[in-house]
Every structure is written in C-alpha cells, then in structure tokens.
Homo-oligomer: A and B are copies of this chain.
Amino acid sequence: MEYNDQMKNRVKRIEGQLRGILRMMEEDKDCKEVITQLSAARTAIDRTIGVVVSSNLVECVRNADEKGENTEELVKEAVNLLVKSR
C-alpha cells in the first residue's frame, strides 16, 4: 500500500506529542495534564488506523469490483484490522 503525506504527517505529529509528554513527566507535571495528552495521542493513533483501513478498503473494493470478485471478505478483513487495533 502507498501511504500519502497526510498519513505520514499524522504519525510525525504523534511522535512529537510523545516527546512533549516525556518532557511533562520530567517536569513532574500534574497527572491530569499528562493523561489528557496521552489521551490525545491515543485518539490520534485511532484516527490514523481509521484512515489507513478505510482508504485501503475503498481501494480493494474497487479492484474487486473491476474483476467481478466478491467483496464480503474485504469488509470482514477491514473489521478484523479495526478491532485488533483496539
């Protein structure tokens, strides 16, 4: 699969968020602030997973439709990727 810049930038941003969280821990910041940031990083990972799985599903369905193949299996696979990812 090819990943576009938007996807890669998402991952770069999450990496930056984690560096920020480490700094907050080193400065003994309040537990609530640290959790809020960890939570934001978590949601950002969720979004990235959603974008990659959905984009991939759309591409695979189009390829299958062109070849006249069944797409039920593709939906199942997408669900497995989404749920494993939780």
Contacts and interface: CB of A to CB of B under 8 A. Distances in A.
Contact of A35 (B21, B29, B65, B84): B84
Nearest to A39: B85
A50 B50 CA distance: 10
Q: Determine the interface band of chain A, counting residues with CB < 8 A from chain B.
A: 35 or more
Interface of A: 1-3, 7-8, 11-12, 14-15, 18-19, 21-22, 25-26, 28-32, 34-36, 38-39, 41-43, 45-58, 61-62, 65, 71, 74-75, 78-79, 81-86
A53 B32 CA distance: 9
Given A1-B28, A42-B85, A35 B53 contact: yes
A85 B83 CA distance: 12
